[in-house]
Amino acid sequence: MKKVSKILNDPSGKVVANNKVRLVTIDMSHVGQRIDNFLLRELKDAPRTFVYRILRKGEVRINKKRAKPLQKLIEGDIVRIPPVFLPEKSEAHVVPESLLKKIEASIIFEDEDLILINKPSGLAVHGGSGIRYGLIESFRALRPNIPFVELVHRLDKDTSGIVMLAKSRSVLLELHEMLKQKSISKYYQTLVLGKWQGGSAHIQNSLQRQQGKQKKVRVLNDKDADKGKLAESIFSPLTVFTKDNQFFSLLKVELLTGRMHQIRTQLADKGTPVLGDAQYGDFAANREAKKQLGLKRLFLHAYHLNFTLPSSGKKYDCELPLADDLITVLEQLK
């Protein structure tokens, strides 16, 4: 049940996205979704700060009771959404046609359950923190008639490669559970500074997000490990290069957990930082790599996904070559 009003102009110069209380009855497509994420989807033009403000003030209610930001929805819940007044849209919020064409060209595979996209480096997966639109907002602008599409997982802004989008709530939850159970195989390729010692290394450590404006992660020592989250990866050497008495190692990485900046922090902690990493890397080496090898970004690429979707029995096995700019760097090293 939805009570939807027209968009009106308010005398204050703001747009009234909805000038009446809305009551939305939750169906199976939203079961298990957090109320904050549900509101972000329902109020597409509202900033995240607005959504959390109406939650904090108790203006959003579930079954007539005050909603908590992390509360999960169940079938039959009745959600009260208050009247919404938003600043008038500016042209800056419109996704450029050039980006829409780029996203369209980046679609690798699509069926009735999910979409696989080759995310370019430099594009965030979603908007926020000063970013007006990312991959998911751009895709929704590209395909406005798709009733449901959500990110299954994330890649760092500067990482390129495969990103999954789910086309239904049930598939999204199924894939999330598979990620928790480590039944989706995810592989990356990365070029690091230094000579990789030995063969494959199964690295497990604890990562903790640091406080402050800059989003960074640190590896905790054993004593403080319980304060962070387990991060687990398998690193395997592919090729070792030498140029001007400097070693570089191309690695294959199997990601077993999906922590923020996991690969980058684990490799930096090991003394072999990802080349082109502006946060955790060797800044002098990055400058030389840009000058001598033409590397202008993070050398990290999500190149292979492999899994079977239990609900349908479909097998997905997608493998992407390195992006052209990364291939050029390797050719310079050879």
> pLDDT per residue over 102-140, tens digit each?
999 999 999 999 999 999 999 999 876 667 788 998 999
What does the pLDDT read at residue 33? 87
Residue 334 CA to residue 327 CA, distance in Å, equals: 11
Asked if residue 160 is part of any domain, the answer here is: yes
166 is written with which tokens? 């789910």
**3-state percent helix, strand, coil for the chain, nearest multiple of 5:** 25, 30, 40
Asked if residue 2 is part of any domain, the answer here is: no
**Pair (190, 328) in one structural domain:** yes
Give the model's confidence band at 93: pLDDT under 50 very low, under 70 low, under 90 confident, else very high.
Answer: low
The residue with greater pLDDT, 221 or 205, is: 205
Last residue of a domain, one of 53, 86, 119: 86
**Pair (131, 213) in one structural domain:** no
Domain count, the chain: 3
Whether residue 80 has pLDDT greater than 90: yes
Q: Which of 36, 156, 277, 282 does the annotation list as catalytic?
A: 156
Whether residue 11 has pLDDT greater than 80: no
> pLDDT per residue over 256-291, tens digit each?
998 989 999 999 999 999 999 999 999 999 999 999
Asked if residue 273 is part of any domain, the answer here is: yes
**Pair (79, 115) in one structural domain:** no
Residues 62-70, mean pLDDT to the nearest whole number: 91
CB 153 within 8 A of CB 177: no
Minimum mean pLDDT among 48-57, 90-99, 135-144: which range?
A: 90-99
What does the pLDDT read at residue 86? 63
What does the pLDDT read at residue 18? 59
Domain that holds residue 68: 8-86
Residue 180 CA to residue 257 CA, distance in Å, equals: 8
Asked if residue 3 is part of any domain, the answer here is: no
**Pair (219, 329) in one structural domain:** yes
Asked if residue 243 is part of any domain, the answer here is: yes
Residue 55 CA to residue 70 CA, distance in Å, equals: 10
**Pair (112, 202) in one structural domain:** no
Residues 302-321, mean pLDDT to the nearest whole number: 95
Last residue of a domain, one of 130, 157, 176: 176
What does the pLDDT read at residue 9? 38
Last residue of a domain, one of 86, 118, 146: 86
Asked if residue 215 is part of any domain, the answer here is: yes
Whether 244 is catalytic is: no
